């Protein structure tokens, strides 16, 4: 099975906890947003592992139903990013589906779970190293860029709060500064990997 990494490229200003609260209040638009933000990740994982586009859509819909039901029970505690949670549900459901269909050389779900755990452990090591390098690069930047990038990406603060705390005239100025700082960070990171 080929591993897939959860995608964070569609991260929104709204924190995952706010999305959970919207679901708890019955806001179905939150689920539509989660679908749009995670379909690429799910499609890649399922299609890399003997599935079709329709399978990916079904798996994501099933995962969102699981999330919805767990949140509505009232005792749901989000311990990871929502995209990580969705990826885990999809992966487990797809492994069971493959086992049921007897596709390829699937002999034991347990074997795949062991392999996936090892892949996850390796992925975590790689992410920690990348994270360390990015933090080091952010430290090389000017004070304003450090604050903007830290608040947005690490603390998951919204543009309004960033504009208020850093005394920007409005959120458009904050967005422009974040974009400028992100481009500067990309250049610094590229130099690290040359």
Give me the average pLDDT of each 10-residue run along the chain (194 residues).
43 68 86 90 89 90 88 79 89 84 52 59 65 83 91 85 92 90 87 70
Q: What is the pLDDT of residue 50?
A: 83
- Among 188, 179, 187, smallest CA distance to 148 is for 179
This model's pTM is above 0.85 = no
Q: What is the pLDDT of residue 23?
A: 87
- Among 89, 63, 95, 72, smallest CA distance to 20 is for 72
Q: Which residues contact 120 (CB under 8 A, 6 or more apart)?
A: 3
Is 147:166 a contact under the CB 8 Å cutoff?
yes
Is 123:5 a contact under the CB 8 Å cutoff?
yes
Half-sphere exposure of 37 (CA within 13 A, CB side): 23
Residue 165 neighbours by CB distance under 10 Å: 13
Q: What is the pLDDT of residue 97?
A: 84
Q: What is the pLDDT of residue 80?
A: 80
Residue 190 neighbours by CB distance under 10 Å: 10
Round to whole Å and give the CA distance between 8 and 11.
5
């Amino acid at each position: 099975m080929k591993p897939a990494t959860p995608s964070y490229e569609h991260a929104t200003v709204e924190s995952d906890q706010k999305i959970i609260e919207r679901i708890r209040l019955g806001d179905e638009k939150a689920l539509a947003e989660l679908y749009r933000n995670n379909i690429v990740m799910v499609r890649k994982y399922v299609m890399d592992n003997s599935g079709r586009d329709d399978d990916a859509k079904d798996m994501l819909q099933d995962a969102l139903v699981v999330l919805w039901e767990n949140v509505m029970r009232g005792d749901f505690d989000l311990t990871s990013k929502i995209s990580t949670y969705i990826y885990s549900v999809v992966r487990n459901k797809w492994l069971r589906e493959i086992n049921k269909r007897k596709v390829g050389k699937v002999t034991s779900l347990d074997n795949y779970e062991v392999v996936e755990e090892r892949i996850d452990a390796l992925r975590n090591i790689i992410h920690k190293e990348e994270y360390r390098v990015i933090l080091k690069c952010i430290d090389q930047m000017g004070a304003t860029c450090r604050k903007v990038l830290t608040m947005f990406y690490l603390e998951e603060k919204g543009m309004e709060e960033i504009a208020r705390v850093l005394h920007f005239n409005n959120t458009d100025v904050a967005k422009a500064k974040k974009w400028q700082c992100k481009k500067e960070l990309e250049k610094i990171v590229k130099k690290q990997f040359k």
